[in-house]
């Protein structure tokens, strides 16, 4: 079974702190994604990466950066956390087979609260 | 207008009912299509991929109409365990995925 793990299930940080959210997948997937999920707004893509050291902006990249130094690990960084970044953060990975983008496998999520 | 739009719901149906969800997408470069299921306070999980020819998995049938840019999910003989939020997902040929806001289904005894 594919396993996607996230470093924390719950996290509480203060405004202005630098926050690191880590995601690791064990299935050698090429693609990795970071989303946030908020009531009434659904899942929104922050960044995705299709290879090591490669990244693409999603729909809401402002206030976030990412790092992918190894294929299995994709980190989301909040340089200076703000209260409007309180949310559920979900990481996902997916394989590429025959040039087709396939289903995504999600981690359990990190519920971040910024005070 | 949102890139992916779903029926707002919620859908409240009795056990054994047939229920259909619809989803429309606006990006004609969309390449891959999926339905995910998300239980309360859990991560989304793949329910089924959607193919141009339509596909069926037990009580679940998915259809894709590329001309109308429309996807559907049909659930027959609903079970209590089908209660969840169903998310429509559209992925472009550049690998970017857009999720619908989801439709909540509650199946009642």
A59-87 per-position pLDDT tens digit: 999 999 999 999 999 999 999 999 999 99
Site of tokens 């519920």? A111
Q: Quick one: closest CA in A to B38, which residue?
A: A106
Give the pLDDT band of residue A42 (cuts 50, 70, 90).
Answer: confident
Minimum-distance CB partner of B97 among A104, A107, A109? A104
Distance from CA of B12 to the nearest CA of A (A): 19
pLDDT of residue B31: 83
Please tell me which residue of chain A has the smallest CA distance to B85.
A42
Q: pLDDT-based confidence at B93, cuts 50/70/90?
A: confident
Q: Do B101 and A48 count as a contact with CB atoms less than 8 A apart? A: no
Q: Tell me the residue ranges of DSSP E strands in A26-72.
A: 31-38, 42-49, 56-57, 65-70
CA B35, CA B45: separation in Å to the nearest integer? 9
Q: At residue B109, does pLDDT exceed 80?
A: yes
- Token code pair at residue B8: 């707002």
Task: Assess contact for B79 and B14: CB atoms under 8 A.
Answer: no
Q: For B53-83, write each residue's pLDDT tens digit.
A: 889 999 999 999 999 999 999 999 999 999 9
The reply to whether residue A104 touches residue B32, judged by beta carbons under 8 angstroms, is: no
Quick check: B99 and A104 CB within 8 A? no
Q: Which residue of B has its CA nearest to A89?
A: B43
Q: What is the mean pLDDT of the segment spanning A11-30?
A: 96
Contacts of B99 in chain A (CB under 8 A): 35, 42-44
Residue range A80-100, pLDDT digits in tens: 999 999 999 999 999 877 666
Share of chain B above pLDDT 70, in %: 100
Mean pLDDT (chain A) is 93
Contacts of A62 (CB under 8 A, 6+ apart): none
Q: Which residues of A touch B (CB under 8 A)?
A: 31, 33, 35, 40-45, 48, 50, 56, 58-59, 90, 96, 100-109
Residue with tokens 């976030």: A64
Neighbour count for residue B16 (Cβ, 10 Å): 10
DSSP structure class, residue B67? T
Candidates A41, A58, A103; nearest CB to B96: A58
């Amino acid at each position: 079974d594919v396993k996607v793990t996230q470093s924390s299930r719950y996290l509480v940080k203060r405004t202005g702190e630098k926050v690191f959210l880590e995601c690791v997948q064990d299935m050698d997937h090429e693609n990795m994604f970071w989303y946030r999920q908020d009531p009434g707004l659904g899942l929104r893509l922050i960044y995705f990466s299709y290879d090591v050291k490669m990244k693409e902006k999603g729909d809401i990249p402002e206030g976030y950066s990412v790092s992918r130094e190894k294929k299995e690990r994709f980190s989301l960084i909040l340089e200076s956390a703000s209260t409007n970044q309180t949310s559920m953060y979900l990481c996902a990975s997916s394989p590429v087979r025959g040039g087709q983008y396939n289903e995504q496998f999600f981690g359990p999520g990190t519920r971040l609260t910024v005070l | 207008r949102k890139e992916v739009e779903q029926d707002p719901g919620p859908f409240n149906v009795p056990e054994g009912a047939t229920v259909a969800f619809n989803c429309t997408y606006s990006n004609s470069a969309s390449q891959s299509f999926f339905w995910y299921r998300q239980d309360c306070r859990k991560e989304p999980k793949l329910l089924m991929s959607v193919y141009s020819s339509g596909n069926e998995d037990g009580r679940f049938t998915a259809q894709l109409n590329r001309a109308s840019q429309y996807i559907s999910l049909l659930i027959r003989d609903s079970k209590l365990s089908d209660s969840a939020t169903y998310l429509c997902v559209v992925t472009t040929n550049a690998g970017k995925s857009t999720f619908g806001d989801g439709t909540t289904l509650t199946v009642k005894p």
